[in-house]
A and B are shown apart, each in its own frame.
Chain A
Amino acid sequence: MTKPRPGSDGDLLPAGTLVFRIGKRADPSPEALKQKKPPEILFKPSSDDEESPGKRLSIWIEELTLPDQGWAFMGCDPAKTMVACLNVDAIRAIQPPEPFDPLGAEWEQALLPDGSVNNLPGAEGHAGITGLLQGGNGKMDSKRRKALRSKLADAAEISPVPVPHNLPEEHLRVAAYFIHEKGKGSQEANWISAVRQLRRATVQAHKQQEEQVGEGKGGHH
């Protein structure tokens, strides 16, 4: 997949972009982890999201930001450990309940906690989901908003790698060395690339494992 070029605040995200959201104090049960489905509350805009000019739910673009970088920008909160991944196409395909508008995915300028622009490496991958704060305060609209979040949860998957990552350092060293051998980028950039590659490899390995389990179960029927 080609790396998307960071856009301006409010620009639409390219189709097919993979994004992730970091959950606050989301501690899933073994059953939830097995189902890999995040809770809908993960997609409830925080008070910061509600107060932001774009009123978007904060997300990050996987090609531009590591979940660990996003986690660091959010203050390295040990209570934020869950990473939910989803595709922009799936977000846009969600059918809103009448009379709500469809959800959108747009670029959003990343800000530091003091309100200044965040220019740190990885901050260029900040974006937001629009349309989650539609409607009024009534019960009916509250139910509709919950339905939208529930659909987002259906479209998302919990990453098997949390934040901060739990990848073995030796593996990262080896991966970073091979990236360095190709003669690309700085040591820090190589390390970030190594984390990204190993994160993806772990996700891939989990998927393959699940497929094998699925096939094994299918063979018994």
Chain B
Amino acid sequence: MTMTATATRDGPSLTSAGHSTFGGGLNLSGTYRAPRFARPPKGPRPKPIPEPSLPSAQPAAPPGRVIHAKIEDRIQFKDSVVVIKAVAHGATYALIQVTDSAVPRKEPAPSKPRTLSPERIARKMAALKAFTKHMQHREYLNRVSAGERPSITLETAAKAMKAWNAIWVASGGLMPIPAACTGPDGEMFYSWDRGRHHLELEIIPGQHAEFFYRDRETEQLWAEDYNIGEPLSAEAIQKLQLFR
């Protein structure tokens, strides 16, 4: 983007809100311009201040003329105000195009329409579905922990969410959302079923949570305490793999 500094013969340009931050200022020729007051100041008229010389090689602009200079030029004005104006990007680009007209203008290659493979679409749909279910589960936890007689406390709901996040992460984001239900004494029950495999996590207020696994075919049973917030055991992670 090209930047230009613009200064006018009439003095400093206006800053934000249309007011100069200074009551007066110096124009390009360095002449002091008094601020506009409602009334002229009383008392003896001050002595005229000698005009300061312009140290730059830049010629003084004739009255009313506007100078456009690149900001890199660094024109030094003593006590003067420089207002920087940005040139609109589009206009600058068009200008470059015109000046380089000797070279045939290269039209940008049209971008290829993005096509997704069926697998990728399926993956995206699955991710969207999982996200929706995750949000539904959050809403469910909010609902059962709110109201006059909540089924579970806010603390249990927070623990449940934390446990679910840990399980989801430990499963590589592939664990399905649990079927959840509250218990008679403020517990939260999570369960997962996949064919022969059944896994539960019981979140009990004031106690460690408890995993319970049952293999419907072999009748294998497994149970383990889980302190929510701590990493899952290797055996628990192994069980999670059965539900991915």
Chain A contact residues, CB within 8 Å of chain B: 23-32, 34-35, 37-42, 46, 78-79, 82, 95, 97, 139, 142-144, 146-147, 150, 154
**Closest Cβ of chain B: how far from A144's Cβ, in Å?**
7
What chain A residues lie within 8 Å of B185 (beta carbons)? 25
The 5 closest A-B pairs by CB, nearest first: A32-B179, A29-B180, A39-B181, A24-B184, A39-B189
Instruction: Tell whether, in the assembled complex, residue B183 and residue A39 are in contact, meaning their CB atoms are under 8 Å apart.
Output: yes
- A31 contacts B177, CB within 8 Å? yes
Min distance, Cβ B144 to any Cβ of chain A, angstroms = 5
Residue pair A27, B144 in contact (C-beta under 8 Å): yes
A35 to B184 alpha-carbon distance, docked (Å) = 21
Find chain B residues with CB under 8 A from A46 CB.
Answer: 184
Please tell me which stretch of B24-32, B70-78, B132-140 contacts chain A, meaning at least 4 of its Cβ atoms lie within 8 angstroms of it: B132-140
Give 16 A-B contacts (CB < 8 Å), ordered by A residue: A25-B182, A26-B181, A27-B151, A28-B180, A29-B180, A31-B137, A32-B181, A39-B189, A39-B191, A40-B191, A40-B200, A41-B189, A78-B149, A142-B223, A147-B219, A150-B214
Find out whether the CB atom of B179 lies under 8 angstroms from the CB atom of A143. no
A-B contacts, CB under 8 A, total: 88
B side interface size, CB within 8 A: 30
Give B residues with C-beta under 8 Å from A.
Answer: 133, 136-137, 140, 144, 149, 151, 177-187, 189, 191, 193, 198, 200, 202, 212, 214, 216, 219, 221, 223
Is the pair A97, B221 in contact by a Cβ cutoff of 8 Å? yes
Point out the residues of chain B lying under 8 angstroms from A26, CB to CB: 181-184
Q: A146-B212, A150-B214 are in contact. Are A27 and B221 (CB under 8 A)?
A: no
Q: Once the chains are docked, how many angstroms separate the CA of A106 from the CA of B185? A: 27
* B216: chain A residues within 8 A (beta carbon): 154
**Which residues of chain B have C-beta atoms less than 8 A from A23's C-beta?**
184
